[in-house]
């Protein structure tokens, strides 16, 4: 374990010249720059020339440190980790390019956050590194973007409100996306392709991908609502369609509950769907959405490095409703709303603030989630710095 008491940097943004990494850098320039009291942060990537160009294009201070590191050169990754408290990485698919960096962070006791929505790879890292990360003090924080922060923290905050109101957590929570404007990333498409190839080579990953408890080794909770076919949601008064990100988000929600010692209960049930509208029109829309999910990227999936225009990012948004249902049928509702498109504009801010929250966290090391490591502290940062609101409704 490396001594992290006085590293050169607080945060290094790895993958800074990629589409999403560049947005994370822009967040740090906008929110922190080289202001007095700001974190000591640096950009990292494979090419010094590209980093210099991106730094100048986005108006980062000329004094912004640049660190050369390459996923194919383990020595450069270890050297990068030894210079900082936290590494934020946008270099995916993580199952193709993430192994060596997680290895380096665990070995050097360096905190890590990424945007991973690849549960098979995440489970492999948990099995391989969780105990070693606990020993080194490294907090390895997967899924620190729209996968899965609004959902992970939304459930956590709802359960806190349920305990205040009812004296106990809600045994059943529904996550329902009321509205969402945004586009898929090339990285998301590449991650799905890589996952399918990994499953073909490792059939042992199939039960992990299928189970809501795929990230809670040693614990298998009750049968969960599937959310795989359109249904009428009487609590919302609208039709609901399957939600493409539910398979990763539900796993992270259950891992947070697992790592925190089951504050939601060991009998906790959770699912996610996307709302359409009421009546026959809503039913048709839900069925149409279910069909789209059979081939979400269409004939020409986006390529890695591609993404929406600044105007599309600016005009994006999302609105998520969480409904807690108590054993006696009473309900409690909680909303999470974000400005900017979820996959880029908001995700880049979430990753940046996860890094900032890790700097202040006193959580033990291990492989966890934003909810398990950071909880309400991250909620406060996101409200202040990322234009995301968390609020009790009704």
HEC profile for 228-269? CCCEEECCCCEEEEECCCHHHHHHHHHHHHHHCCCCCCCCCE
**Count of beta carbons in the 10 Å neighbourhood of residue 34:** 14
64-73, 290-299, 305-314 — most confident range: 64-73
Residue-wise pLDDT tens digits, 147-177: 999 999 999 999 999 999 999 999 999 999 9
User: Is residue 320 in some structural domain?
Assistant: yes
Measure the CA–CA gap between 352 and 33, rounded to whole angstroms: 13
Q: Indicate if the pLDDT at residue 1 is higher than 60.
A: no
User: Same domain, yes or no, for 106 and 170?
Assistant: no
**What mean pLDDT do residues 231-253 have?**
95
pLDDT at 394: 83
Three-class secondary structure of residue 298 per DSSP: coil
Q: How many CB atoms lie within 10 A of CB 380?
A: 14
What sign for the dihedral angle of Cα 372, 343, 346, 389? negative
> Per the domain annotation, does 40 fall within a domain?
yes
| Domain of 189, in residue numbers | 149-343+386-393
Alpha-carbon span 53 to 117, nearest angstrom: 29
Phi, psi of 391 (to 5 degrees): -155, 140
Question: How many Å apart are CA 60 and CA 188, to the nearest integer?
Answer: 27
3-state secondary structure of 122: helix
Whether residue 86 has pLDDT greater than 80 = yes
pLDDT bracket for residue 300 (50, 70, 90): confident
Nearest-CA neighbor of 352 among 35, 2, 10, 4? 10
Q: For residues 375 and 218, give the distance between their C-alpha atoms in angstroms, rounded to a whole number.
A: 23
Say what the pLDDT of residue 196 is.
81
As a whole number of angstroms, the distance between CA 2 and CA 81 comes to 9
Q: Which residue, chain included where needed, has tokens 């009704």?
A: 394
pTM of the full structure: 0.95
Range in 31-40, 189-198, 200-209, 339-348 the model is least confident about: 189-198
Flag whether pLDDT at 204 surpasses 60. yes
Q: Which of 27, 18, 13 lies closest to 350, judged by CA?
A: 27
Q: Are 91 and 218 within one domain?
A: no
What average pLDDT does this structure show over 367-387? 98
Query: What pLDDT sits at residue 255?
Result: 98
**196 and 105 share one domain:** no
Integer Cα distance of 372 and 389 in angstroms: 20
The domain tally of the chain equals 2
Residue 367 falls inside a structural domain: no
The residue among 332 and 307 whose pLDDT is bigger is 332
Residue 210: per-residue pLDDT: 93
pLDDT value at 31 more than 70: yes
Q: Do 268 and 219 share a structural domain?
A: yes
Residue 176 lies in a domain: yes
At residue 323 the predicted structure's pLDDT band, cuts being 50, 70 and 90, is: very high
The residue written with tokens 């020595």 in the block is 75
CATH number, domain with residue 19: 3.40.50.720
**16 in Cβ contact with 51 (< 8 Å):** yes
Count the residues in the chain: 394
Give residue-wise pLDDT tens across range 336-347.
Answer: 999 999 999 999
| 371 in any annotated domain | no
- Omega of the bond prior to 148 within 30 degrees of 0, cis? yes
Q: Is the same domain home to 194 and 324?
A: yes
Whether the pLDDT of residue 3 is over 80: the answer is no
- Is residue 364 one of the residues assigned to a domain? no
What beta strand segments (E) does 32-167 contain? 41-45, 66-68, 84-89, 111-113, 139-141
Are 253 and 110 part of one and the same domain?
A: no
How does strand 331-339 pair with strand 388-393?
A: antiparallel
What is the model's pLDDT at position 294?
A: 80
Side-chain-facing half-sphere of 32: CA atoms under 13 Å: 21
Residue 380 domain flag:
no
């Amino acid at each position: 374990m490396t001594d992290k008491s006085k590293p050169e940097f607080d945060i290094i943004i790895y993958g800074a010249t990629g589409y999403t990494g560049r947005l994370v850098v822009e967040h740090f320039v906008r929110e922190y720059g080289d202001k007095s009291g700001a974190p000591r942060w640096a950009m990292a990537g494979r090419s010094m020339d590209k980093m210099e160009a991106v730094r100048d294009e986005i108006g980062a201070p000329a004094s912004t440190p640049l660190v050369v590191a390459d996923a194919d050169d383990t020595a450069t990754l270890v050297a990068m980790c030894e210079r900082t408290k936290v590494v934020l990485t946008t270099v995916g698919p993580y199952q193709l390019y993430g192994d060596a960096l997680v290895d380096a962070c665990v070995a050097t006791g360096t905190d890590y956050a990424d945007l991973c929505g690849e549960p098979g790879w995440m489970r492999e890292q948990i099995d391989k590194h969780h105990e070693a990360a606990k020993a080194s003090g490294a907090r390895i924080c997967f899924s620190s973007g729209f996968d899965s922060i609004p959902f992970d923290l939304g459930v956590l905050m709802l359960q806190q409100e349920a305990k205040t109101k009812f004296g106990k957590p809600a045994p059943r929570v529904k996550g329902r996306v009321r509205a969402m404007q945004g586009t898929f990333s090339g990285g998301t498409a590449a991650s799905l392709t890589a996952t399918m190839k990994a499953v073909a080579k490792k059939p042992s990953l199939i039960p992990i991908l299928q189970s809501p408890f795929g990230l809670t080794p040693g614990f298998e909770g009750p049968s969960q609502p599937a959310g795989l076919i359109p249904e009428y949601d009487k609590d919302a008064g609208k039709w609901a369609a399957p939600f493409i990100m539910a398979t990763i988000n539900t796993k992270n929600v259950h891992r947070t509950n697992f790592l925190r010692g089951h504050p939601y209960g060991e009998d906790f049930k959770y699912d996610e769907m996307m709302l359409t509208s009421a009546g026959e029109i809503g039913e048709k829309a839900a069925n149409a959405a279910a069909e789209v999910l059979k081939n979400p990227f269409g004939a020409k999936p986006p390529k890695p490095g591609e993404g929406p225009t600044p105007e599309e990012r600016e005009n994006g948004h999302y609105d998520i409703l969480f409904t807690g249902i108590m054993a006696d049928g009473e309900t409690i509702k909680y909303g999470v709303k974000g400005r900017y498109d979820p996959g880029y504009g908001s995700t880049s801010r979430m990753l940046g603030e996860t890094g900032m929250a890790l700097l202040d966290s006193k959580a033990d090391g291990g492989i966890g989630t934003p909810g398990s490591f950071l909880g309400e502290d991250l909620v406060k940062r996101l409200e202040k710095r990322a234009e995301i609101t968390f609020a009790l409704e009704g």
